[in-house]
Structure 1
């Protein structure tokens, strides 16, 4: 397995993997990622910033995630407490978003590989921790975070949910010290 930045020519494949993730969330009755999000423009911006990553196995792109060390304003307020005292203005954490695995590649450890690879990337950027959040009903992602050694820290509210009618703005937030 190889973890590497997404090339611009691979955005279509990333969108397919994200569509598989969207379908999996819909099957769980979760409103996260519905109504067109994550949209292509977000992924194009991730690629432009060098924050979109893929997991490649035998020449096939099977999973994707976004890893940013630029801070996330959604993490500035939490109903609970982070393990580290770091803000989006002066981030000392990496944020993992948009974790998705192709439907035909589930159960092969790709999500754990993405999380471990994101941690390595965070260490390379001298981050103190890694943060991730998910919809309260996303039991698979919550379980993944805990199994990867993350601590549940509380609830955050995502500002972007306001762009999707009736979307749940609460997210369960996790952090792992490096």
Structure 2
């Protein structure tokens, strides 16, 4: 049985993360999506995510097989939402970015584990508002957003030289009910979650 967990990324993870990001870029290209085809996320972005403790590694049997970033808002590109409105524009939010699973782990439904743990970490930090964006041709990200009850809110434009338009999603959890506190036993994660 595999050991699977989520942890912070470190500089020693950079080669593995670079490979995972390249795998994701190639998968998006194969699917016909222009997302991530203009050179980003690049090495500088990944290093920034690591050094600012924004990046999380999905580890299976001690191998980093996935990565994601959670960035506290406000996000500049989200200020100009088109074709809709955010449901909660008053409370702080976390944006989930740069989600990628490496080729060796694709097709194992690990993105479900990844998202579940990201939301757990966010809730432990007091957030109940989560956002993400993705290209209209990125069906895999749209599917995971729907699976976790993210709601489509409209479109935003991001810094992409090929096609900047992204579908924007939001998840609002009840403020009086934090499932992680009452139903999830992730005590092994508490030391890293509590380091803000």
Q: TM-score, normalised to structure 2's length?
A: 0.83
Alignment match of 1:169 (pick from 141, 164, 168): 164
Tell me what 1:136 maps to. 136
1:71 shift after superposition: 2.8
- Alignment of 1:50 onto 2:53: yes
- Verify: 1:34 aligned to 2:31, yes or no: no
Helix, strand or coil: the match of 2:41?
coil
> How far, CA to CA, are the matches of 1:46 and 1:81 in structure 2?
28
Per the TM alignment, residue 17 of structure 1 is displaced from its structure 2 partner at its CA by: 0.3
Partner residue in 2 for 1:23: 26
Structure 1: gaps of 5 or more residues: none
Q: Note if 1:73 corresponds to 2:76.
A: yes
Q: What does the per-residue CA deviation read over 1:78-105, in whole Å, with 9 as the maximum and x for residues that have no partner? A: 111112114xxxx611100010001121
Count of residue pairs the alignment pairs up: 169
Decide whether the 8 Å contact of 1:150 with 1:176 is kept in 2: yes
Asked if 2 retains the 8 angstrom alpha-carbon contact of 1:51 and 1:66, the reply is yes
1:156 aligned onto 2:156: yes
Query: For residues 115 and 72 of structure 1, what CA distance do their matches in structure 2 show?
Result: 20
Q: What is the CA–CA distance in structure 2 between the aligned matches of 1:107 and 1:149, rounded to whole Å?
A: 21
SS in 1 for 2:37: coil
In structure 2, how many angstroms separate the alpha carbons of the residues matched to 1:47 and 1:54? Answer: 10
Aligned-pair RMSD on alpha carbons?
A: 1.2
Report Cα offsets for 1:40-87 as digits up to 9, x if no partner.
00000001110011100111111101111243111112111112114x
Higher radius of gyration, 1 or 2: 2
Distance between the aligned counterparts of 1:43 and 1:94, measured in 2?
Answer: 18
Deviations 1:95-154 (Å, cap 9, x if unpaired)?
A: 000100011211212111121111112112211211010011111111111011111111
- Which deviates further from its counterpart, 53-62 or 111-120? 111-120
**Alignment match of 2:88 (pick from 75, 79, 84):** 84
